[in-house]
């Protein structure tokens, strides 16, 4: 009798969740969980394109481990009953310090691709940067979601095309352009090299087998429109309708002679804020300030370009000290938790930027996955702020993070 009573008191069954996506997300407590689900659901080549980095992937690993090396020096008894993580970036109010990074070929994770990301970002008012190599167009993206849209610019050899893309972003009311400056040539992502990975994913024997063991992705892929570079559809530069290796495409089309002199030219095309993405030294952050740039994204392209590049979080404090508020700082790379965002802001960044975190989520569960990861990061920021004793982002100061050499 006693046993039955005890059993009755502890037996609890979770209500059955009938919706498969919601069921999948219920078990995803972290970005790493979403990564694992994406790995299971996506064909290997697709997952490796998203997950992989350049060469020995030391930049990739270093971006996250540099966050892990830093511990907090939390303050207590600080009245954190109300925590407000909102901030202002480029004159715009953000609910918490995050920008959703541009990612190329977003539709390979899910057919809704960039539209799903823009809708999820818009629901909470976070900025989202559409990639030049986006698989939905500037205009299609502008038509969805309320959050601020930024346009990421790769500078093509054909400057007329760049001017045209920027003019389209302006006409569609984008709030900022983000010019990527770490891609003079394409990084060697050896997972893609080994697989002979091309975009859009080609259907060969390997892909057929892979497709058969990832039926949900394959079914979506074959039923949706072909994946193309939607911003340059039908253009001479190639829109991805013929399979290309991204390395060959980028090396043929993007301008390795880009220099600081081009900043003035970009200014003539765009009268709003300019963000330089891919700044990796204090010296270049200072140059950005001297060129009147509004924000720098400290970034090594998620470890996808130069291997053995500095981890962005390690640059935040020295850059903040050197630029002294002249340029806003975005820390991009290795962001997997709200606590990472809190560390970056405490050290002097205005916000963080994350790409893989939502790319995994999109592969794991489509748009609901992106909502989920935004929620995980938001609640992680709030919880960490409370635990380190900061009620507002203004109270996030460098003393809250242990110095690290
Ligand atoms: C595209 O920008 C990529 O890094 O793959």
pLDDT by residue for the chain (405 residues), tens only, comes to 688 888 888 888 888 999 999 999 999 999 999 999 999 999 999 999 999 999 999 999 999 999 999 999 999 999 999 999 999 999 999 999 999 999 999 999 999 999 999 999 999 999 999 999 999 999 999 999 788 999 999 999 999 999 999 999 999 999 999 999 999 999 999 999 998 888 776 666 777 788 889 999 989 988 999 899 999 999 989 988 888 888 999 999 999 999 999 999 999 999 999 999 999 999 999 999 999 999 999 999 999 999 999 999 999 999 999 999 999 999 999 999 999 999 999 999 999 999 999 999 999 999 999 999 999 999 999 999 999 999 999 999 999 999 876
Q: For residue 104, report the distance from its CA to the centre of ligand 1, in Å.
A: 5
Say yes or no: CB of residue 333 within 6 Å of ligand 1: no
- The whole-angstrom separation of Cα 25 and Cα 22 is 5
Q: For the beta carbon of residue 65, count every other beta carbon within 10 angstroms.
A: 13
Q: Which of 180, 193, 304 for mutating ligand 1's site (highest number of atoms within 8 Å of CB)?
A: 304
Angle at 169 between CA 283 and CA 277, to 5 degrees: 20
- The whole-angstrom separation of Cα 113 and Cα 255 is 27
Q: What is the pLDDT of residue 405?
A: 67
Q: Which atom of ligand 1 is nearest to the CA of 187?
A: 4
**Helix, strand, or coil here: 106?**
helix
Say yes or no: CB of residue 133 within 6 Å of ligand 1: yes
- The whole-angstrom separation of Cα 99 and Cα 64 is 17
HSE-up (13 A, CA, CB side) for residue 194: 11
Q: For residue 383, report the distance from its CA to the centre of ligand 1, in Å.
A: 32
Q: Which atom of ligand 1 is nearest to the CA of 301?
A: 4
Q: Which of 103, 107, 108, 182 for mutating ligand 1's site (highest number of atoms within 8 Å of CB)?
A: 103
Q: What is the pLDDT of residue 208?
A: 76
Strand partners, 346: none
DSSP state of 81: S
- The whole-angstrom separation of Cα 318 and Cα 329 is 11
Q: What end-to-end distance do the CA atoms of the chain give, in Å?
A: 62
Nearest protein Cα to ligand 1, atom 1 = 104
Respond yes or no: is residue 301 known to be catalytic: yes
Q: State how far the alpha carbon of 299 is from the alpha carbons of 48, 315, 352, in Å.
A: 20, 9, 10
> With the C-alpha atoms ordered 123, 129, 135, 137, is the resulting torsion angle positive or negative?
positive
Say yes or no: CB of residue 337 within 6 Å of ligand 1: no
Token representation of residue 188: 């060697």
Catalytic residue among 110, 136, 214, 301: 301
Say yes or no: CB of residue 304 within 6 Å of ligand 1: yes
- The whole-angstrom separation of Cα 66 and Cα 374 is 22
Q: What is the pLDDT of residue 13?
A: 87
Say yes or no: CB of residue 104 within 6 Å of ligand 1: yes
Q: What is the pLDDT of residue 112?
A: 97
Say yes or no: CB of residue 44 within 6 Å of ligand 1: no
Nearest protein Cα to ligand 1, atom 2 = 104
Say yes or no: CB of residue 250 within 6 Å of ligand 1: no
| Under 8 Å between Cβ of 322 and 348 | no
Q: For the beta carbon of residue 383, count every other beta carbon within 10 angstroms.
A: 15
């Amino acid at each position: 009798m006693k046993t039955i009573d005890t059993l009755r008191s502890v037996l609890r069954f979770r209500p059955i969740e009938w919706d498969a996506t919601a069921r999948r997300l219920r078990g995803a407590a972290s970005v790493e969980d979403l990564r694992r689900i994406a790995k299971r659901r996506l064909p290997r080549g697709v997952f490796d394109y998203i997950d992989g980095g350049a060469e020995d992937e030391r930049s990739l690993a270093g971006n996250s481990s540099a966050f892990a090396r830093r511990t907090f020096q939390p303050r207590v008894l600080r009245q954190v009953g109300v925590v407000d993580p909102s901030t202002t970036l480029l004159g715009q109010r953000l609910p918490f310090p995050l920008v959703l990074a541009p990612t190329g070929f977003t539709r390979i994770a899910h057919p809704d691709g960039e539209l799903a990301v823009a809708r999820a970002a818009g629901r909470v008012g976070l900025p989202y940067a559409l990639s030049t190599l986006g698989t939905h167009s500037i205009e299609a993206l502008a038509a969805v979601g309320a959050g601020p849209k930024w346009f990421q610019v790769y500078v093509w050899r054909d400057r007329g095309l760049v001017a045209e893309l920027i003019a389209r972003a302006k006409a569609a009311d984008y709030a900022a352009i983000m010019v990527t400056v770490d891609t003079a040539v394409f990084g060697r992502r050896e997972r893609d090299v080994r697989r002979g990975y091309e975009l859009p994913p080609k259907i060969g024997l390997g892909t057929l087998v892979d497709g058969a063991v990832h039926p949900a992705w394959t079914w979506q892929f074959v039923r949706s429109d072909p994946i193309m570079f939607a911003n340059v559809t039908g253009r001479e530069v190639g829109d991805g309708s013929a399979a290309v290796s991204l390395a060959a495409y980028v090396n043929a089309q993007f301008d390795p002679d880009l220099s600081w002199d081009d900043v003035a030219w970009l200014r003539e095309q765009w009268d709003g804020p300019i963000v330089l993405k891919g700044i990796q030294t204090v010296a270049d952050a200072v140059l950005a300030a001297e060129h009147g740039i509004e924000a720098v994204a400290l970034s090594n392209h998620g470890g996808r370009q130069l291997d053995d590049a500095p981890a962005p979080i390690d640059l935040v404090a020295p850059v903040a000290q050197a630029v002294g508020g002249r340029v806003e700082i975005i820390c991009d790379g290795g962001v997997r938790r709200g606590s990472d965002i809190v560390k970056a802001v405490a050290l002097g960044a205005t916000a963080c930027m994350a790409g893989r975190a939502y790319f995994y989520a999109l592969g794991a569960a489509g748009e609901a996955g992106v909502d989920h990861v935004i929620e995980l990061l938001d609640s992680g920021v709030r919880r960490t702020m409370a635990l380190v004793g900061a009620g507002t982002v203004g109270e996030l100061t460098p003393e809250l993070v242990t110095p690290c050499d």
